[in-house]
Each structure stands twice: as structure tokens, then as C-alpha cells.
Structure 1
Amino acid sequence: MRLILAEVVTIGDEILYGQITDTNTQWMSTELDKIGIKTVRKSSVGDQEDKILQIFEEAENRADIILLTGGLGPTKDDITKKTLCKYFDDELLINEDALSFITDFFTKGGRPMTELNRLQATIPSRCTYLANKTGTAPGMWFEHKGKSNRTTIFVSMPGVPHEMKYLMTNEVIPRLKKFFETPVIYHKMIRTIGVGESFLAEKIENWEDNLPEHIKLAYLPSFGQVRLRLTAVGEDEEILKQEVQDEIDKVLPLIESSVFGFDNDDLEVAIGKTLKRKGLTVSVAESCTGGYISHLFTKVPGSSAYFTGSVVSYDNSVKINVLGVKPETITENGAVSEETVTQMAEGVRKLLKTDFAIATSGVAGPDGGTSEKPVGTLWIACAMEGKTIARKLQMSNQRDTNINYGSVVALNLLRKMLNGDYES
């Protein structure tokens, strides 16, 4: 059974200008993947007929399915229907079902229907009309037999997300499932932290080289983390799941110390599960991260079972008067130092009476650094009864990156200490 390929094309100058964020293509690709259809390309094109025609031709050579969104409104800049007519050598005609629906749509809403609204009921004569019950722009389904004598499916939908989702869910997906015989695509994600992509690749090279032909591996790096995505293609989902699990069982001994979860287990979720299972609590003292670590904890439902609270000690007076950092510690070593961040962690743990505590202090940027402590200098600490570990990070001058990455490293330090790893 061959893999069915799809291409998603978004139409509209507003996307290319950056005035609208394209969320449609991600959602559509996810839904296609669920029914065994692989998205091979995503394209965006402006409201220019020649460019749209070029995209159509290129997409037809690459994919079995071309899904289009945008350019279906009542105004002159919406040219998708006219361009489809030109591509398929067709003409626009009033579709009576579409006209009836649009008329009813405006009547029920107590609004007058203009001639522009009426023209939305015009669609290429040879397409199948897909009723959009959430708006006035129609969906259109084309079955096009090109030069290769292979039938390609073109589907045109509105760019408004909730209208596109309605059509995809109620019209497009059911039709695609009937039209194509598709394989199963099964994904499994291994979540790792604290090890670089290249180093990780070296550790598992022999395992990766011996993966079965129908199981592929991808490396997906982010802040301090690498997700290993295993993708298996076949006909029986249960068999694929077992085959992927067998491969995971082979690789885990090589990387187990770096693995914190699977699939959608974010780091803060995995840590929360460990804290809850062990009946332990954590608190946070944040300076340069400004409450971001606290946000990561509290966005998890049920985190009140283990996350007690935090102190955002941005000013030194809060470090001293609330957390109990000694004034001379800051005078002698500075707020961004091992000594200060250690006392912050120990202070918030004592203040909020928790088993563990995390603290951060640094120069997030983009300015404020010195020759001794340049922008990107960050100290983190994790404290428990009788033990505090501090680590220094030297990062970039990108503020958001420093806050995100520093928070992940701080959480990973907590994870290690929870697992009894007090040295690494």
C-alpha cells in the first residue's frame, strides 16, 4: 500500500505580509496524518493569478491531494475561484444549492444580501459543492485527471480557521477516506534533555542504522531538549505500535539518563508526576526568569499538589528582606553569583517549607552586562535538605532565549536531584 501525499497551499497577500498568522496548515497536516496521508509540502502564495497557477502545476506533480485555503471572499482581491476555472478550463456558474444556503444564511441573520454575497454562490461548474454551514464561502472538490492520467484531488476552502475546520471535519476528511486506500502512520516520541543532538546521534548511531525500513527516526531539537520521533508506516496499527516499542526498548539503555518522558510529556509535567508520586513539594525563587518557571509549573492542572509557591525577587531588596540573602553576599559577590543564587534557593525553601526549591539570577539581556558578567550570564540552584547544587550558564544576548533555556536547565537540575543524581 503506497503512501498518499498531500500539499497544503494558503492563498492571500496578508499571510505573506505577516499580517495574519497561518495556523491552518499545522492543523490540516495533523488531521491528514491521523488518516494516513502524509503532507509533503506547505506553500503560501499571494493574490496573483500567475503565481497561483504555477503553484497548482507544481503541487499536482508532487502530490495526490492539494488542499487550498483562502481567496474565496466576495471582494475583487479574492481570485481563487477564477484561477481554478482557468486551471481546469472551466467556467463560473451559480450553484443553486449554494445560493439557497447563502440566501437562508442572510435571511436567518436578519441582514440584507448584496449582489456580492450572491456572487459567492458562483463556483466552477465541474466541481462538487461542499456546504459550509459556518459561513458564506463555499467549499469545492475537484477530481482532476492530468497528463499522467492520474487523478489528483483539489479541494478549495475558506481561509477563516473555523470555516476550514468545519469543512475538513465534515466534508473533506470523510471523502478522502472513501477515495483513497491509505496506510497507518504511527508516531512515538522519546523526550530527552541535557544532551546535544550530535552527541545523542553518536550514542545511538548503531541502533538507528539497524531500524527496520518502515520505521524512520527524526531529531527535533529545542531549548536544551531533543525529541526523538519514531514514525512507522504499515497496515496494522497494533503491530506498528509493538514494533516501535521493541525499538524503544533497545535504545533506552543507551540514553536512559537523558530521557524524561514520551510523546506530550513536557518536562514540567514529568517532574510534577515524580513529585506527586513521591509526595514531595517544590518552591521557586526567580530573578532573571521573572516568574516563567512558576508559570511552567502552574499551567499543569493539579500542580497545587506539589507546587507551593514562588517569590519573584527581581530587586535586591526582595532577595534580602524576603528570601534572607545576606547583604554582604550581594555586596561582595553581586546578585548574579553562586553565593547569591544558593542563598535564594535555600531561603525560599525555608520560607515556603518545601522539600525542594529552585532559584535563578542572571543578566538576561539584551543589555546590563559587564566585562566580568556579560549578558547571558545565569546562575541557577536547586536546594533540598542538606544539599544545594548551583550551576553557571553562559548564553547569548537574546533575552527570550536566555529565559527559556535557563528555565529548562533549572528544571532539569531539579529532575536530576529528584532522581538522586547530585553530581551531574
Structure 2
Amino acid sequence: MSKKVGIICIGDELINGYTIDNNSNFIASKIRKFDNLDISNIFVVGDDLVSISDNLDYLMGKNINYIFITGGLGPTHDDLTKKVLCEYFNCELKICEKHYQKLYDKYPSKKKNHIKSQSEILEISQPIPNDIGTALSMHFMFKGITFFILPGVPLEVNKAMVNYILPDYIEPFYKMNNSVLTILTSGIYESSLYNRLKDIIEEWRDKIKVAFLPGYSGVKIRLTSLDSNISKDTFTQFKNLVEYKIKKYIYGYDDDKLNHIIGEILLKERKTLAVAESCTGGYLSKVITDVPGSSSYFKGGIVSYSNDMKVKILGIKSDVINEYGAVSKEVAVLMSENIRKKCNSDYGISTTGIAGPTGGSRNKPVGRVYISISTKKNTICKEFTFSDQRKINRNITIYISLFLLKKSIEIKK
């Protein structure tokens, strides 16, 4: 029988729209991977005693088995979570001496009252270490319900979930769910994917649900068993049929990240990369270097946003720019080739385009982008026309660039 999970995220900044609630998304994404654990409710509430208590009442009245609460553990006057919980569960606070000493040693200049407040947990609870922050997490059981109380900082929530809650309290008791799989694709539109897969989707519609989830990085295809009795082999059979139809567009599964995959490939092949960016304004370099250890394969990049930079730094002749325009296949090719040569790298990527919302023309509308990939043996360049939205155009350009690089590496192999 499935166990129910409820999540309460606390903070005025969440309900006022100043901060996006990433915590419930992360917690839910981890919990859904286990059999017999279902997310029942997610609530976002302000720093308000009554609202927090009301949501606890609701969840406890719905036979919830696990309740996650994030936020409100800080030392300021509006951090009310521990106060509310003490009143709700009729208990006091206690100091976790180990955490107190850790903070005191690390922050000797901080006031003792501050360190004390960050080391206090409910007397009915046990501490969950906070490896990167100061507010101590905790867990306890009450009337058969398991509670996890976490800080509001997303990175601290992520670390607590991955390092402690999942391995200590979830994984020993629940099996991983093999009836849900997300296939990650890039370089193809949602409608084209559906056209390629519609026959097998129709054939298997009573057994497996297929959902298409488009985004900046591509289209996710989520496969979900509709019947718990479907065997792993049957699910794998359907997965293989899907992969056969769209194999060249797949770059990963579930939580895979394209920039991490590219990094792993470059490290394995002992290859290096350099980039010349125009319309993406350094964002491609940022995404590449988001990966720890990227210095092992990323030589560097140049943001040649102006024509002057393209001429003086990348060595593109002004005659070429004048004849074809900065947003052109000819310029994109020279950008990728010249940055590769300048940095002595194995691969060069270039991006040039009209991000918008202005700057377009009849022949080159807003959203027109050229992406070029250069190697020592050959250079390719692809033309795209995306949207009239600047942010969307820049984001899509990043991930298409990485996907084209991946395909170039695979072809070369």
C-alpha cells in the first residue's frame, strides 16, 4: 500500500513572489523515484503561526505518512517554524551540543545567542546534520507520522536530502520505482517526436502513458506504467521501441544534464573545447563551467558581441562581415574555426544571432541563430529560427550548441 507524503514550504518571500519555491520541487523529484511513496499535497505558506498550524492540521487529518517542512529555521524574528512546532507538539527546544560546538569553533566572532538559536531543535527530535549551513535540520515521529524539518536554503535542503534523509530513512525501506522513466532529447520539436512515436503510443496506450514536456534544453519524454503489474522486461521493451525511433536525438535520462554529459565525454576522449559567443553573451561559457572540473577540458571563450571584437580579437575580415552580415553562416564558421585555432583546442563552438526583441529584418528575423562547430578536420554550421523572445532564444541556443557538439564528437568517433 502506498504511503502519502506532504510538503509544507514556509516563507513570506515565497507567497509574495520574491523567491521561487525550489524546495518542494526537489523533494518531490527525489521521493517520486520510489515505489509506494506518493506526493499527496504541497503547500506554500507565509511566516504565519495560524497558517502553518492549519496546514499541519490538514495533513495530519489526511493520513499522511511523511511530512517535510522547509524554511523558517533562521535566527531572525520572522523565522517562526520552531516556535510553531513547539506549540503544536507541546514540547520545548533543546540544544544539539555537537552542532553548537561546531558553529562556535567555525564562527568564534558570532554572538552566542545566534549560535544557540541555530543549534536548537525540538526536544522530541533528532538532529540531521547541515554540512554547509548553520540552521540544524531535524526529524521525529508523532502519532505514526515521520517529520523532517529543514532550512529554507535550497542547497542546504538538497544536501540534507541526498546525504542523510534518502540513504537513512527512505532507501532502506522502499525500492526504486522502475515504472517511470524520463528520456531527454534535443534538436527536435515536440510535434516531430510525436509523429515518430504516435503509432507505438497508440498501440501501448492501455499499458504505458507517454507525456511530452518541452523546455529550453529540449523535449523530455516521460514514460509511466499505468499498471503496477507490468513487468520490468515489458517496460524495457517499450522503452527500446521508443529509443529505436528517436535514437539520434536522445542525450540522456531522468536527471542527466547535457553540460555534465559533454564534460564526461571530453574528459574520456581527452579533448578540449573553446567558444566564441555573440548572441549568447558568455552564457554558453557559464553553462560549460558550471560543471566541476571543467578546467580540464575548457580552454576558454571570447564574447565577441560587437563587430569590432570579431575583427580585432577573432581575426574575421571586416569585408566578410560587411558582405554577409555578423549574423550569417559565413561569420559563424569563421568564429568557430578561429577560436579553435587561437585556443589550440580540439573543438570550437560559435553562436551568432538576433536574440531580440529588436534587430530583425525580413531576411533575418528575430530568433535567427547560427551555430557552428569546428574540428581540425571539418566545420559544420546550422541555421535556426526560434522565437521572438530574447530569453528563450538565448537559452535554446545554449543547449542546441551543446547537443550539436555531442553529435559532432560521436560522429568523429
Query: TM-score band, normalised by the shorter chain?
Result: 0.7 to 0.9
The question of 1:28 aligning with 2:19 is answered no
Query: 2: distance between equivalents of 1:235 and 1:362?
Result: 48
Q: 1:103 to 1:336 in 2, by over 3 A?
A: closer
Between structure 1 and structure 2, the one with the greater Rg is 1
**Superposition CA RMSD, Å:** 4.7
1:377 aligns with one of 368, 380, 387: 368
The question of 1:12 aligning with 2:3 is answered no
Structure 1 residue ranges without an equivalent (≥5): 145-150
1:157 aligns with one of 142, 149, 152: 149
The question of 1:266 aligning with 2:254 is answered no
Q: Which residue of 2 aligns with 1:203?
A: 196
Q: Which residue of 2 aligns with 1:256?
A: 247
Q: Which residue of 1 aligns with 2:389?
A: 398
Alignment coverage as a number of residue pairs: 396
Give matches, 1:405-420, under 5 Å: 405-420=396-411
Deviations 1:96-115 (A, max 9, x none): xx446589959x9596669x
Query: 1: distance between equivalents of 2:139 and 2:52?
Result: 16
Give matches, 1:25-424, under 5 Å: 25-33=24-32, 36=35, 37-59=37-59, 60-61=61-62, 63-71=64-72, 92-94=90-92, 98-99=93-94, 101=96, 105=100, 109=104, 128-131=124-127, 139=138, 141=140, 143-144=142-143, 153=145, 155=147, 157-161=149-153, 162=156, 182-186=174-178, 188-209=181-202, 217-230=210-223, 240=232, 244-271=235-262, 282-300=273-291, 307-354=298-345, 356-369=347-360, 373-384=364-375, 387-420=378-411
Q: Tell whether the 8 Å contact from 2:217 to 2:395 is kept in structure 1 after alignment.
A: no
Q: Tell whether the 8 Å contact from 2:73 to 2:81 is kept in structure 1 after alignment.
A: yes
Query: 1: distance between equivalents of 2:260 and 2:129?
Result: 39
| Residue 44 of structure 1, CA deviation | 0.3
Q: What is the letter of the counterpart of residue 16 of structure 1?
A: I
How many percent of aligned residue pairs carry the same amino acid?
A: 30
Q: 1:113 to 1:326 in 2, by over 3 A?
A: closer
Q: What is the letter of the counterpart of residue 312 of structure 1?
A: V
Q: Tell whether the 8 Å contact from 1:285 to 1:358 is kept in structure 2 after alignment.
A: yes
* Partner secondary structure for residue 204 of structure 1: helix
Query: 2: distance between equivalents of 1:354 and 1:403?
Result: 24
Query: 2: distance between equivalents of 1:346 and 1:140?
Result: 56
Q: Tell whether the 8 Å contact from 1:102 to 1:121 is kept in structure 2 after alignment.
A: no
Which sits farther off after the overlay, 243-252 or 273-282? 273-282
* Partner secondary structure for residue 69 of structure 2: strand
Q: What is the letter of the counterpart of residue 257 of structure 1?
A: K
Structure 2 residue ranges without an equivalent (≥5): none
| Residue 243 of structure 1, CA deviation | 5.3
* Partner secondary structure for residue 320 of structure 1: helix
